[in-house]
Amino acid sequence: MTDSLTIIRPDDWHVHLRDGDVLRTVLPYTAKTFARAIVMPNLRPPVTTVARAKTYRDEILAALPAGADFTPLMTLYLTNATDPSDVEMGFAEGSVTAAKLYPANATTNSEHGISDIKKAYPILECMQRIGMPLLIHGEVTDSGVDIFDREAFFIDRALLPLRRDFPALKIVLEHITTEEATAYVAENGGRGTLAATVTAHHLLINRNAIFAGGIRPHYYCLPIAKREKHRQALVKAATMGEAMFFLGTDTAPHVDAAKECACGCAGIFTAPTALELYAQVFDDAGKLDKLEAFASRNGPAFYGLPVNEAQITLKKGRGEEIKPILTQDEQTITSFAPPSPLVWRVG
Ligand code: DOR
Ligand code: ZN
């Protein structure tokens, strides 16, 4: 039995750090474990220009605890009005790493997203030419499509035509949740143009968890958790250790007042125990030997970045405790509680 595991320090390829008080509260959790993170741009208002991405990066750096070793990798939120020359300039100077495509109204703060993918074609042409990754929230927004089918429909209706029109564009299908997405990425990924991130919570819960004994707002996120067979497909895909799947927590904090109400926000906050949650999944699958590839090697390889030099050690025994987090203005943020108690902790 393995009760200690040392791996290369990981990166988180999908985080919501927010701004202001919430940023200062949640950032230390991501920065203690992860060396780098792809920072989502869906602030209010969204990060739509390189100039704004730079001021947001400065705000993140100013909020880091003393001595932290953490690099935020900034992203741009694509809108119908994004200027390709701004995107190209930001990528060339290294101030933005990727751009995010939110179909308009797909999720939290996505109302300024792309309403018609054809409108984004000039930007996508530019990104394909310069080798800049496109990060996709892969759900159709047609209200006639059942919420549990929105990802699978997106692959057929939007991703296939997009990849046909831009065969060399580097695409990350973010936070995949279905058997269909794992199969599509397993078959078409691995050649440097397609990969997927997988969250810890989608590896740990299925849709029953959202309704177990009552409605559980802290298990509600988008894309929503699916049937058990989909969770199993995700576990299989992530724990293979193959290049096209890597870690992206999609940790998405909302204060409890915004989750525990008549119309609660989507988002699950996993940052305090993110790596421990993944370790639990890989351990349960008998695949701890693949955690380093998934958490620390496959992401940098896709993004063309070096792997980190530092290492991190996980220990098995008394797991990390799950507790609510208090913001500086005294609001609480509930952390994700896995269905069975954690048995891993960092350090
Ligand atoms: O559950 C989610 N929360 N899904 C998203 O795509 C956005 C995120 C957020 O920003 O809260
Ligand atoms: Zn997200």
Ligand nearest to the CA of 253: 1
Predicted confidence (pLDDT) per residue in 208-248, tens digit? 999 999 999 999 999 999 999 999 999 999 999 999 999 99
**Predicted TM-score of the model (pTM):** 0.97
Structural domains of the chain in order of their starting residue, each with its CATH number? 4-346 (3.20.20.140)
Tell me what pLDDT residue 219 has. 98
Ligand nearest to the CA of 266: 1
Ligand 1 contacts CB of residue 18 (under 6 A):
no
Q: Which residue has the CA at smallest separation from atom 4 of ligand 1?
A: 222
Residues annotated catalytic, as ranges:
250
Tell me what pLDDT residue 190 has. 84
Predicted confidence (pLDDT) per residue in 73-121, tens digit? 999 999 989 999 999 999 999 999 999 999 988 887 888 889 889 989 9
Ligand 1 contacts CB of residue 101 (under 6 A):
no
Going from the Cα of 14 to the center of ligand 2, the distance in angstroms, rounded, reads: 6
Mutate to test the pocket of ligand 1, among 14, 15, 16 (most ligand atoms within 8 A of CB): 16
Tell me what pLDDT residue 217 has. 98
Ligand 1 contacts CB of residue 300 (under 6 A):
no
Chunked into runs of 10 residues, the chain (347 residues) has average pLDDT values of 91 98 97 98 97 98 98 96 96 98 87 89 97 97 95 97 97 98 96 96 98 97 98 98 98 98 98 97 98 98 98 91 88 95 92
Tell me what pLDDT residue 273 has. 97
Ligand 1 contacts CB of residue 252 (under 6 A):
yes
Ligand 1 contacts CB of residue 249 (under 6 A):
no
Round the CA-based radius of gyration of the chain to a whole number and report it. 19
Tell me what pLDDT residue 44 has. 95
| Omega within 30 of 0 (cis) for the link into 223 | yes
Tell me what pLDDT residue 323 has. 85
Tell me what pLDDT residue 115 has. 87
Residues 158 and 101: beta-carbon distance below 8 Å? no
d(CA 304, CA 306): 7
Q: Which residue has the CA at smallest separation from atom 7 of ligand 1?
A: 108
Going from the Cα of 4 to the center of ligand 2, the distance in angstroms, rounded, reads: 30
Give the Cβ contact number of residue 135 at 10 Å.
26
Mutate to test the pocket of ligand 1, among 47, 107, 150 (most ligand atoms within 8 A of CB): 107
CA atoms within 13 A on the CB side of 117: 22
Tell me what pLDDT residue 41 has. 97
Residues 205 and 219: beta-carbon distance below 8 Å? yes
Tell me what pLDDT residue 6 has. 98
Tell me what pLDDT residue 322 has. 85
Tell me what pLDDT residue 234 has. 98
Tell me what pLDDT residue 144 has. 95
Cβ within 8 Å of residue 78, ≥6 positions away = 48, 99, 100, 101, 102, 113, 114, 120, 123
Tell me what pLDDT residue 1 has. 63
Ligand 1 atom nearest the C-alpha of 174 is 6
User: How would you write the chain as a 3-class SS string?
Assistant: CCCEEEEECCCEEEECCCCHHHHHHHHHHHHHHCCEEEECCCCCCCCCCHHHHHHHHHHHHHHCCCCCCCEEEEEEECCCCCCHHHHHHHHHCCCCCEEEECECCCCCCCCCCECCHHHHHHHHHHHHHHCCCEEECCCCCCCCCCHHHHHHHHHHHHHHHHHHHCCCCCEEECCCCCHHHHHHHHHHCCCCCEEEEECHHHHHCCHHHHHCCCCCHHHCCCCCCCCHHHHHHHHHHHCCCCCCEEECCCECCCCHHHHCCCCCCCCCCCHHHHHHHHHHHHHHCCCHHHHHHHHHHHHHHHHCCCCCCCEEEEEECCCCCCCCEECCCCCEECCCCCCCCCCEEEC
d(CA 75, CA 41): 6
